[in-house]
A and B are shown apart, each in its own frame.
Chain A
Amino acid sequence: MNVTMINRRNVLKSAGAIGIGSLAGCLGGDSNSEYVRPVEIEDWPPESYTDELNTWNWYAEWNEWGTETFAEEHDLDSFSTETYAAPGDWFTNLQSNPENHGIDQIGAFTEWQYRAVEEDLLEPIPIEMMPNVEIPDQYLDAHQEQFWSDEGVGGLYGVPHSVVISPIVMYNTQELQDPPESIDILWDEEFANEISMIAHQPAILCEAGALYTGQDPNDPDDFEEIREVLEQQRDLVFTYADDHQTQMQLLMSGDATVGTHMDGRAFRAMYNQGGDVDWFIPEEGATWGTDTIIIPKNAPNPVTSTMYLNFLFSDEGMERMIETSLYRPPVDNEEFTDGELGDIIREKWDDEWEKYGEAEDFINDLVLSEETLDNLFHNWPRSSDVIERYDEIWTAVTAG
């Protein structure tokens, strides 16, 4: 066993050495070369890159594995990974230090990416030339519309690496079996004081109200109605959970019978923790969004960062993302049902990944049929009016 390990490492190292050997002329004293923007990379793989990498990502486990492996393969001198406390931390950092923030790459949420684009803090990323980044249209179109650079150089501000659906309805299977798949269940008096709503963001709470009242959660016509139904629901609500973990615990322990959440968290509860829970997308619909990876302007190592981004989108990278976070990568359904990713999931599910439940169930959960997808709303962009009204409703409802 040990022997194989050593062999594998040697192979990796020599592969890296060969890769670097071919670039040797461009390295060394050239590491302080002038700033090359990702969109200015002419050939792939890039002719030269600097040997440092500093990344911020909320997907800590995935990113740690990623930087370490990437640094070894490319013989980087130094690399760092950080997580951050509040979703806007990196934005504040970039805004206050637009030139010396020292960050090469960030795992971001779409709403903050949007703000950063507005403030012109991001580099467009040349996804077309990056071999591993192959995102199917159904997931990429919305981004192309919103986040394609209009500088004329091409490139996308932020590359989506996972697809998240919310609010989904999650329920405890000890308390409830085969419920009707409608959001109405969250207003059912049968579950008075057994309902727990995730409310860590104003939007996720208000979206449930919008769906219940048959409105477009991205741009509802009648905010008052949303507020009314949520205030009416409040009498049935046991609590508004402020974080993912608490909400998962509440539903797994049966403290709450039914509640809202995000699909990735339902997967964690079921497959990582073996909780007695199940979930559905309400027939009224839900919203979908993506978590993305961005490269800030004035990143110290923009080319290395681009290469690392490409690495994260390799099969191995996606596999690790699924293993560590159980989120859905933006790939075609066939990749899960008949493709290589599906095979890996099935192969590693029990022994290597030590997950609960059946791999096949998880694969079914990952598949988003065209029908399902049509029923979903892409959650961005939203007008500042919607954001502000949602915030007011959230404040009024949770404070009441």
Chain B
Amino acid sequence: MSIVSIQDLRKEFGNVTAVEGANFDIEEGEFVSVLGPSGSGKSTILRMIAGFESPTSGSIEILGKEVVGMAPFEREVNMVFQDLALFPHLTVAENIKYGLQQKGVSKDEQQRRATEMLEIVDLAGYGNRDIDQLSGGEQQRVALARALVNEPSVVLFDEPLASLDRKLRQRMQFELQQIQEETGITFLYVTHDQEVAMSVSDRMVVLNEGKIEQIGTPEEIYRDPESQFVAQFIGDLNSVYSKVVEANDDTVEVQTNGTLVRVPVMETTTPALNAEAVDIGVRPQNVTLQQTSSNGDGTAFEIGGTVINRMYRGDNIAYIVDTEDEEFLVIEQQDTRTEFEIGEDVYVQWKTDDCLVFPSKEVA
């Protein structure tokens, strides 16, 4: 049985539809991220599971029990809030025990579990401190402990790491993952930060404008994005508009720069066969720059352009190349290639195997 099962969930605020037709399940012990840009409805889904918003239609089951209509305090879920919402008038231990008190757990048991939880989040001995005596990272851990101590079916995270600086965020990500493994509690993590989502999640749910675009493991989603939105949101993507010459089940032949190229197509993204044009996408890492043209074998794309910007990034160098069609972002590993100067004329090349084919966004 799934821990959380969401069916046909829909939420409207006035005449704005925040969430539309959301369906997904979360299995026991999973770390699932809901990823999307701001305004995509991800927080709304979370707040509906927690009980702070009620859905316009659809159902939310927790452990097979319908929870729509139940008050937040009646649900077996706990939330880690974006700004943590720790009680500033209580000590660290009092914060952690708060949920246990509401359940009527005995004082000794409260004490025991709070102490245990403080150890898990690496804050042993911090019980009597005031919240405002703690650093940002420590407060994150208290918030986590306050949720975990209740042993909920699922812990909901509403972008709690957003306010931390990059280094601390990475450390907390790592700790979060460890604690999840240690406790085996199911996590549902909402974020707009694809880096966080990719590094911590077992599965990701990508949302756009209230609709689920794709569900899958981070790897699946990065490798085989089902839509151009997902491909662009998870990692960078260069994309070229191309006229379709001929299309069949597994390839599409397109014309670029006067050359015909046959591109293999994944099942999931097969464009309508009668489409007149497609967008050919490619990750910046898969593009190389050449000083001379090496056109001809039909297994690669090549476009001429001029380097207009160059960013040194430590282990790699990013170039922006202006071509006839688009500006290209090209990332070259520093050790392997010759370096290029701004203003230099170059050829942008990539293999057909690295292409991601999507229905064209441009209206034909």
A–B interface present (Cβ within 8 A): no
